[in-house]
Amino acid sequence: GHNNPPDYLKGLNPEQRQAVETTEGPVLVLAGAGTGKTRVLTTRIAHILSQGLAFPSQILAVTFTNKAAREMKQRVGILVGEAVEGMPWLGTFHSIGVKLLRRHAELAGLRSDFTILDTDDVIRLIKQLIQAEGLDDKRWAPRTFAQMIDGWKNKGLGPDEIPEGDARAFANGRGRELYRAYQDRLTTLNACDFGDLLLHPIRIFRQHHDVLAEYHRKFKYILVDEYQDTNTAQYMWLRLLAQRPKQPSSPRSRGEDAGRQMRGGANVSEASSRPSPGPADHPLPVNGERERNLVNICCVGDDDQSIYGWRGAEVDNILRFEKDFPGATVIRLERNYRSTAHILGAAAHLIAHNEGRLGKTLFTDRPDPEDPKVNVHAAWDSDEEARAVGETIEAYQRDRHKLNDMAILVRASFQMRSFEDRFIEIGLNYRVIGGPRFYERQEIRDAMAFFRVVAQGADDLAFERIVNVPKRGLGDATIRQIHDTARALRVPMLEAAGKLAESDELKPKPRAALREVAANFARWQSLLDTTPHTELAETILEESGYTDMWKNDRSADAPGRLENLKELIRSMEEYESLRAFLEHVALVMDAEQNEGLDAVSIMTLHSAKGLEFETVFLPGWEEGLFPHQRALDEGGRSGLEEERRLAYVGLTRAKKNLHLWFVSNRRIHGLWQSTIPSRFLDELPEAHVEVQEGGGSNYGGYGNPYGGGAFASGRGGFSAGRQNPYGASRFDSLGSPSGGFAGRGDQKGGAAGQERGQGGAFSNSYAT
Ligand code: ATP
Ligand code: MG
């Protein structure tokens, strides 16, 4: 009958339903994790389509990842009950940006077959420009400038718009010229970088009102997921598309669009002759119309899950939605459908430690006494942590849990290594999501290439990978010459390079560079049998300049790469020789990514946004790792609060089972250091948490940190007959019967423990 709602609406609660059915005007859904925000968006699309309010091509829907876009397409199809004929404008900001730019490339001075440059290309290009300006590219690092440009583009700033201070900060005050030269060069090359995928469309929309008007007519509905993590450029882009010129009060007619275009057209020269308007500026003149301008935009987000501030995201965007879109309907969802009461309780208590939140309620009406509490476990070090997590996973498996329903979420990518190694050893299927597997990372492959050539001088593939890394002025022509020589003499490239370096076939500069390469490898090879292999590996990375290359790199991912390199060296310790290690890695690399198979997911917390799993493991909850040292070094509140939001995202990924781990020893900068459990553990409410005493063969349990006895309670700890494998005297006291952390006598730990203030469960553990 007429009153029966369509099937896709039946499962929704009243607020969700309101968010779906309020199709006219701006809607903001501001709600905590797992309350069905993404589900609302998906259902809203289904609703729009099945009510015939728009064609699929008239819906613009933005997701945070490509994976999320694919899933949304699929689910809409299921809800509508038929294959959705293409949703051409459902994707990430970047993928939609490419599409727009291909359509209007000529307006940005490009051809529609433009290429998109990757970071390496960009850096090479900038280096040329810096040199062409007669500047020293050592003093003015191309990577740094690439990073600056990216930052400007995230803010929507072209060369003419960057602040004077920024412009002066680089290249003896010539930052602006350099940026302009870079853009010109891109145009000549018919290319753009990632930032341009947003910036060019913004520019086009601002300068060509007829084009903008075309999209205003086209997109009847705009939907945005994860709105809290949009950056300024994305925000400008959205506002241009969403803010329609105010309607004349006369009834809308077909002719009106043409009129709007003309007004827009007339305005072009004016727009381009003055500085571009800020995000709040209206793209079109408003002719004294007071009528409200309601656009069918629906954004969903959660300020507590804003975790990309370090990449320029502005959580303020969500906070000022109502100002941007007057008359917006704001809907709050409070019922969480994802997690147990214990998980929600833990997450809510943790995030309450942040200031300046909007504050939200979350509840579940299905508290079940059978639900497990949040488990906190301790391990000796990261290898033991990996072993114990593996055992727990296998226990779940025996209990008929699917690997697909389990995930390990790490704070830093280097943490993946011990899990990957362990899972391969025990034959547990896993897949790494949202990034390369540990051994596939660029810096790991580079380092491995150095090691391979040292171990096996005929490994031409490896040699070719790193012969010009870090950059030493060996161009394609020189590489080709090495190739030719190698082929003519029937020798490996390394040997050919040595021969060429001694001949006069090369110009002085490449010849000197090659000579150094050949000498380096000869020296490292001579050390192969006499120097411990981890030491040799470190030497290679130091002497080749590879470590310095990343140390001098100021891009956001450089510190993570350095951490990965350290982890690589650390992991070599377990192998007898460099060759044994290389063999191990070759086997790991050969392992399948297990697409389509039952497999545990491993990913960073950042890439877990929006996802959910029955069982979640969160390893590495230690001060310095989580919260990350970089956030702590910043001082101030904002870095720490973003870390806490990341912890909140991690906790709220779990539906039912949640396991947190911390280890008491990590190797940092080549030294074993005892670590301090994360302050975030302190911030979990006792009522929802269970501290696991032991649980595996080797790792001793701790005293319950929440029971007042803190870690000093001496129950268990590492005293349980555990030998200290590292032989350092500072761990000796762990063998004493009173055990626990109390006896560590670690100066650093003591200071840090006290700093954390009174009342904290851990604070007095270090007093000794
Ligand atoms: P996050 O903030 O983590 O992105 P979210 O708010 O987007 O979370 P969803 O992923 O949409 O939440 O939903 C969380 C889970 O709850 C999903 O499994 C979803 O299918 C389920 N869910 C949402 N609404 C309902 C409902 N009305 N009835 C039953 N299940 C629901
Ligand atoms: Mg979501």
758 to 44, 641, 682: CA distances (angstroms): 49, 20, 12
Distance CA 609, CA 653 (A): 8
Q: Which residues does the annotation place in the binding site?
A: 31-38
Mind listing the pLDDT tens digit for each residue in 17-50?
999 999 999 999 999 999 999 999 999 999 999 9
Q: Report the nearest-CA residue for atom 16 of ligand 1.
A: 337
Question: Where do runs of H (alpha helix) occur along 219-367?
Answer: 232-242, 254-273, 316-319, 321-324, 341-351
Residue 31 Cα: closest atom of ligand 1:
6
Residue 577 main-chain phi, psi, to 5 deg = -145, 170
Q: DSSP secondary-structure letter at 363?
A: B
Tokens standing for residue 99: 């599409």
* Predicted pLDDT at 274: 35
Ligand 1 touching residue 33 (CB < 6 A): yes
What is the structure's pLDDT at 356?
75
Å from CA of 222 to ligand 1 middle? 20
What does the pLDDT look like over 283-302, one tens digit per residue?
Answer: 443 333 333 456 899 999 99
Atom 9 in ligand 1: residue holding the nearest Cα:
36
The question of whether 225 is a catalytic residue gets the answer yes
- pLDDT of 535 > 50? The answer is yes
- Pick the ligand that lies closest to the CA of residue 30: 1
What is the structure's pLDDT at 308?
87
d(CA 622, CA 460): 42
Question: What ipTM does this complex have?
Answer: 0.99
Nearest ligand to the CA atom of 651: 1
Residue at 198: amino acid letter: L
Give me ligand 2 centre to Cα 609, in Å. Answer: 7
Return the residue matching tokens 């949040």.
Answer: 374
Which one of 35, 306, 614 would you pick to mutate in the ligand 1 pocket, going by the greatest count of ligand atoms within 8 A of its CB?
Answer: 35
Q: What is the pLDDT of residue 696?
A: 39
Probe target for ligand 1 pocket from 15, 39, 409, with the most ligand atoms within 8 Å of CB: 39
What is the 40 CA–ligand 2 centroid distance (Å)?
9
Distance 586 CA to ligand 1 centre (A): 41
Q: Quote the CA–CA distance of 70 and 47 in Å, as a whole number.
A: 18
Q: Give the whole-angstrom CA distance, residue 321 versus residue 334.
A: 19
Encoded tokens for 425: 């050893």
Which among 503, 525, 530, 533 is positioned nearest to 515, based on CA atoms? 503
Identify the residue whose C-alpha is closest to ligand 1 atom 11: 36
Distance between CA atoms of 198 and 724, rounded to whole angstroms?
Answer: 55
Q: What is the pLDDT of residue 248?
A: 53
Residues near 55 by beta carbon (within 8 Å), at least 6 away in sequence: none
How many CA atoms does the CB half-sphere of 576 hold within 13 Å? 2
Annotated binding-site ranges for ATP: 31-38
Instruction: Specify the ligand 1 atom closest to the Cα of 611.
Output: 3
| 14 touches 316 (CB < 8 A) | no
| String of DSSP letters for 30-72 | EE-TTSSHHHHHHHHHHHHHHTTSS-GGGEEEE-SSHHHHHHH
Q: Which of 653, 655, 656, 666 is catalytic?
A: 653
| Span 93-113, pLDDT tens digits | 988 999 999 999 999 999 888
User: At a CB cut-off of 8 Å and minimum separation 6, what does 641 contact?
Assistant: 354, 355, 356
Do the beta carbons of residue 296 and residue 243 sit within 8 Å? no
- Concerning whether 768 is annotated as a catalytic residue, the answer is no
Residue 451 has pLDDT above 80, yes or no: yes
Q: Which helix (H) or strand (E) holds 116?
A: strand 115-116
Tokens of 37: 């925000």
Which positions ≥6 away from 294 have C-beta within 8 Å? 24, 25, 26, 325, 327
Two structure tokens written together for 501: 């370096």
Structure tokens at 11: 């499962």
Active site residue 133: no
Specify whether 653 is catalytic.
yes
Cα angle 573-574-580, degrees, rounded to a multiple of 5:
95
The predicted structure's pLDDT at residue 287? 37
Beta strands in 311-405 (DSSP E): 329-333, 374-379
Section 275-281 average pLDDT: 38
Q: Among 50-59, 203-212, 432-441, 697-706, where is mean pLDDT lowest?
A: 697-706
Residue type, 179: Y
Active site residue 38: yes
Please tell me what DSSP assigns to residue 405: G
Distance between Cα 37 and ligand 1 center (Å)? 6
Active-site residue among 232, 305, 392, 478? 305
Please spell the DSSP secondary structure of 156-223, one letter per residue.
T--TTTS-HHHHHTTTTTTHHHHHHHHHHHHHHTTEE-TTHHHHHHHHHHHH-HHHHHHHHHH-SEEE
Of 383, 520, 516, 541, whose CA–CA distance to 448 is shortest? 541
Tokens of 482: 């090495």
Confirm whether 673 is a catalytic residue: no
Residue 46 to residue 23: CA distance in whole angstroms: 12
Query: What pLDDT, on the 0 to 100 scale, is given for residue 268?
Result: 32
Is a pLDDT exceeding 80 seen at residue 463?
yes
**Most ligand 1 atoms within 8 A of CB, residue of 38, 67, 225, 303 to mutate:** 38
pTM of the model: 0.77
442 DSSP 8-state letter: H
Atom 27 in ligand 1: residue holding the nearest Cα: 12
* Stretch 708-731: mean pLDDT: 30
pLDDT at residue 412, rounded to an integer: 93
